[in-house]
Chain A
Amino acid sequence: MKRRQFLSRTIGASALSLYRIPVIQAGSNSSSISDKIRQWKGNPIKIGDRKQLFIDKKFIAASHGVELITNPPLSTRQIEMPLLNGMASSGGYSTVLDVEGEYWFYYHARPEHSSQKGHQAYMLCLSKSEDGIHWRPAEVNRFKVDGSQRNNIVAPGAIGTVFIDPKKTLDSRYWFLGTLGEREEPPIWEAAKDTYYRRYYKEGHAYHEGGIYLLHSTDGMAWNRLPDVALPLWCDTQNQCLYDQRIDKYVAYLRGNNPAGMKKRRNVRRIEVDRLDKAPWPYDENPNRKRGPNGLFGNLIDELPEVMGANGLDPDATDIYTPCVNPYPWADDAYFAFPAVYRHYDGQNSYGRDLRGKYSNHGPVEVQLAVSRNGIEFTRFRRPYLASGLLDEDKGGGDVYMGVGMIKRGNFVYHYFHEDTFPHGPTTYPYRESFSSKGMEVAIHRLDGFVSIDAGPSGGELVTPPIQFEGNRLNLNIDCGAMGEAWVEIQDAHARPISGYSFNESVSVDRNGIAQEVWWQKGPDVSELAGQPIRLHVKMRSAKLFAFQFIKS
């Protein structure tokens, strides 16, 4: 198709379809959609000069020949996380923070020699870096392991997520939410006294109980415990809390469970609170559930609303294992979650091929991408964001768990994940000792690049709903590669091209850039349209469009 032919298709004449995820169906209801757009009444979306992402249908009123696509990281790279004084790597739960330009990385290690079983052997450690690749242990030196106190352990027996509290509750900038377990052997931590990661007890039947705790710190290294349990419910693995600036609340994402007997077991549940230090947090207590001897409940089931769970689009026996939710501070109203999704083998029979079905709670885990505008309703893409590596390699091929946190450097976002050679399962596997852990890796991503609206070589187009902007230039984060181009028309709210900004007057954007200025024959200035309700109509060929932003140049 020649450029002129491509551009000559206008919204009035073209067969625009309703936008659907994930498949665009071209040609359906074209006239009614056109009429609907033309007869629009209402209020435009006020976007100001903030960046807007194409992660869902929010900015797509109509489209044809384009599709929402998730994009894997540009590259991954193994990193060496320091381990000191008889410590071994332990698990894939981690958090990265940007502290005044320095990378802070919280991760877990465990003593090489310990009779302490389970998660109470996990030691929360801290390392720091200037470049996100090379790390040095923080000089914490508080807990003695293997006869030495020179190590970077900050919280023995703690599994969870560290986050920054901009309100500095209790004068503490750093907070931690997670499970905590008092240890029976050194290093003993006074702050963990009388806490229970998961305590089993019998009252006729076997039960367990546990809780979610909060720690706080002024420097991120010396931690104190908030005396009261934040939630008297047991939530396994990496739970997290964050300050959500959009709603000015603290939000926690916690491991939830479906009732026993369901094939899809684990899910993610959410709570939001105004204050960190007013514990316990509010939850919908089930009067029929009994507390354990320490006043705590067993699994979190339906005391909080579910926000992420497996459904009919997933294989049987699939769970959402960890949430890893990140508000995206570099654009408007965007949350990215990287849940670990776990397909368990329970009940399978491989007829001697492999170990599937021989153990309970055994199976592979991958990281998927879920997007949200409010941190509550998530759309999860089934294409893996980080798939497990190859079997039979020295390292990799088993579980993959994403850590919490993203750091922006230039045009790239850094975040971290952990990969094992073995699938999820009990630590007592007879073969597990022969496997190694690939350890931590960094995933480097294009800024705003997690999801894009893509057009192939045959071309595609989209029209936004009416928007109202501030500024005098329009920038696109777009990758047209070598073969692609994109043209932008500005329309009024009723989809009529505005003179000077029509397709026939537009100058194409090409190549690959984070902030590519949009031009028309008269130039790039759009200041005369600021404050008016307008629509963007974008035509593209062989292009990936990630975001748009009106700016003041």
Chain B
Amino acid sequence: MNSPVKEEPVLVAETAVESHKIGGYCQIVKMKDEWWMYYNAMPLGDFNYDASRADGTGYMVCLATSKDGLEWQRKNVSLYPIRGKENNVVIPNAYGYMFDDPKKSDGYPYWFLTHMQECAVWKEADGCDYWDGLYLLKSKDGIHWKRHPGMALPFHMDSWNQCFYDSPLQKYVAYVRSWVPGKDRCVSRLEFEDLLSFPWPHETYDPNRKRVRKNKLLDEIPVVMQAGPDDPPGMDLYTSCVEPYGSAHPVWLAFPSRYRHYDSFYSFGRDSRGKNENVGVLDVALSVSLDGINWRRFSEAYVPLGMIGKIDAGSLYMGMGMIIKEDEIWQYCGVLSDRASYYRMDQGVGAIIRLVQRLDGFVSADTDHKGGELTTPLLVFEGNRLDLNIDCGAMGEAWVEIKNSEGKPIPGYSMEESVSVDRNGIAQKVWWQKGPDVSELAGQTIRLHVKMRSAKLYAFQFIKS
């Protein structure tokens, strides 16, 4: 697994809406010729850590826009004045996930899966309670949002839940917070065909089961991500952050926040660990999947904590959405220096930072200077050239052999006839002494056999040149 580079903060707490904090959750979406970022912020006010402040000063969903992904401007939408001031709040007293619906259910292209809480500044939330369940909002422009009648899921699922339309599957998929006894916070997944057929499918609620809160989701929806034996004690998965990767997205990536809480810890005066419940540290992990259901999570942090005293030293929450910029992938991450600010009305904390990853660079098959090799399963390809996304640095090289279905090297493509790939490139041509043309093998069942030294191999692709 390869961590991204942490680049500059793109948004820091500056406005009245952000006077307590900015960030936590954020997501970017492409809207015509610009990028929009929906992000959470919270104004200073009486202490209450969830989105239930009746005066409309809980978590706010705010909007910023950017042409290049580097410079972000808050978009003044003048919808929900907070303490008499115009601002960029598009949804008050809520946090959730915006998605576009290619089916345009009910005639609306944009939808938002969220908690809702009745408050003074937003009539759409009348009669809603943060703890009741998840609702859907709908919009024609991404700025003005209306509540869709009914409740999508009648469970309390704290923090950030997500929903989107999975085109290859031709279904809607949602990843939601569940709470499995002994595991604490987990991620559950459900799929369904009709966005507006409420409630979304789940097992029947059993009132006799023990729950932390009356209507907390346990495993009525299948759990797909949870803490395992390789994780430290007292760790659970806070958010899911599932992204399809690639245009046909046979690969799924997830960036769950891992939360190691200090509950019942006693530091004997060294620090504040264990002094408050539900305080701890969060980083971002990387999980990969081929079906969105069975996940492999890497044990190292994908986005690690920064040094104590820095803006990213306490809690990290990956933002959703990626900008593919030539050979780079840009993502955004909400950071806090100290999770204790969850319980304190600190002033102006948090930031949203930009992360830069190499194209396809999340995971690689690596060898050190002593060398290594791999053989693929049987493949059938189209095209006449083979490209590798590979970093051999200055010292490394890689050689490719093509084998037939019986595992024998195909003459002309053997290791002995292979010309090494070296250096560092996103799409490096594989070559043999006879040249790069592999068209005669297209449609046949083959395997690739790769030998490498001091190299990181990210991806391969047969192309038509």
Contact = CB atoms under 8 A, between A and B. Distances in A.
Interface of A: 2-3, 74-75, 313-315, 318, 341-343, 350-353, 356, 363-366, 382-384, 387-393, 397, 400, 411, 423, 446, 456-458, 479, 481-485, 507, 510-514, 516-517, 519-524, 541-542
Interface string B415-441: 000010011111111011111100000
A411 B307 CA distance: 9
Interface centre among B280, B307, B313, B434 (most CB of A within 10 A): B307
Contacts, number: 152
Nearest to A513: B308
Contacts of A392: 425-427
Nearest to B298: A457
Given A75-B5, A351-B431, A384-B393, A457 B232 contact: yes
Given A391-B425, A482-B260, A75 B6 contact: yes
B304 interface: yes
Contact of A315 (B281, B307, B397): B397
B307 A513 contact: yes
Interface residues of B, number: 58
Interface string B246-289: 00000000000011100000011110010000001111000000
A517 B280 CA distance: 19
A298 B232 CA distance: 61
B395 A341 contact: yes
Given A483-B235, A510-B281, A353 B419 contact: yes
B394 A384 contact: yes
Interface centre among A456, A523, A542 (most CB of B within 10 A): A542
A542 B267 CA distance: 19
Contacts of A350: 419, 431
A309 B417 CA distance: 31
Contacts of A342: 394
A437 to B, nearest CB: 17
B453 interface: yes
A388 B283 contact: no
Contacts of A446: 307
A457 B453 contact: no
A3 B235 CA distance: 13
B369 A364 contact: no
Contact of A341 (B268, B394, B432): B394
B305 interface: yes
Given A350-B419, A519-B270, A512 B308 contact: yes
A516 B426 CA distance: 41
Contacts of A3: 233
Nearest to A520: B268
B283 A481 contact: yes
Contacts of A400: 394
30 contacts: A75-B5, A313-B369, A314-B395, A315-B369, A318-B395, A343-B394, A343-B395, A350-B431, A351-B431, A382-B369, A383-B368, A384-B395, A388-B423, A397-B423, A397-B425, A411-B307, A446-B307, A457-B230, A482-B259, A482-B280, A482-B281, A482-B301, A483-B232, A483-B260, A507-B268, A510-B273, A511-B308, A520-B268, A524-B270, A542-B299
A524 to B, nearest CB: 7
Contact of A364 (B281, B309, B394, B432): B394
Interface centre among A384, A392, A482 (most CB of B within 10 A): A482
B231 interface: yes
Contacts of B313: 511-512
Given A397-B425, A482-B281, 11 more contacts: A314-B395, A387-B424, A388-B393, A390-B327, A397-B424, A400-B394, A423-B423, A481-B305, A483-B260, A510-B281, A511-B313
Nearest to B427: A392
B369 A314 contact: yes
B383 interface: no
Nearest to A506: B268
Given A353-B429, A483-B231, A512-B313, A393 B270 contact: no
B191 interface: no
Contacts of A341: 394-395
Contacts of A365: 394
Contacts of B259: 482
B413 to A, nearest CB: 13
A485 B280 CA distance: 13
Nearest to A400: B394
Given A351-B433, A482-B282, A507 B267 contact: yes
Contact of B304 (A314, A391, A512): A512
A541 B431 contact: no
Interface string B39-77: 000000000000000000000000000000000000000
Contacts of A383: 368
Contacts of B419: 350-351, 353
B158 interface: no
B81 interface: no
Interface centre among B260, B273, B395 (most CB of A within 10 A): B395
B430 to A, nearest CB: 9
Contact of A391 (B260, B308, B423): B423
B454 interface: yes
A315 B428 contact: no
Given A350-B431, A351-B433, A388 B394 contact: yes
Interface centre among A351, A446, A513, A541 (most CB of B within 10 A): A351
A307 B165 CA distance: 61
A214 to B, nearest CB: 32
Interface in B94-108: none
Contacts of A351: 419, 431-435
Given A75-B6, A507-B270, A390 B424 contact: yes
Contacts of B428: 391
A516 B307 CA distance: 11
A485 B230 contact: no
Contacts of B118: none
Contacts of B401: none
Contacts of A541: 232
Contacts of A512: 304-308, 313
B393 A353 contact: no
Contacts of A507: 267-268, 270
B453 A315 contact: yes
B309 to A, nearest CB: 8
B391 interface: yes
Nearest to A22: B368
Contacts of A456: 299-300
A485 B258 CA distance: 15
Contact of A366 (B232, B309, B393, B397): B393
Contacts of A390: 327, 358, 424-426
A57 to B, nearest CB: 19
Nearest to A5: B233
A173 B426 CA distance: 48
Contact of A382 (B395, B423, B429): B395
B454 A382 contact: yes
A479 B5 CA distance: 17
Given A390-B426, A457-B299, A542-B299, A481 B304 contact: yes
Complex A-B, nearest 7 residue pairs according to Cβ-Cβ distance, in ascending order: A366-B394, A364-B394, A482-B283, A391-B425, A482-B281, A353-B431, A382-B369
Nearest to B301: A481
B455 to A, nearest CB: 11
A511 B305 CA distance: 7
A393 to B, nearest CB: 7
Contact of B391 (A74, A356, A387, A393): A387
A420 to B, nearest CB: 12
A388 B235 CA distance: 38
A521 B232 contact: no
A2 B233 contact: yes
A200 to B, nearest CB: 30
Contacts of B299: 456-457, 542
B384 to A, nearest CB: 15
Contacts of B258: 482-483
Nearest to B370: A313
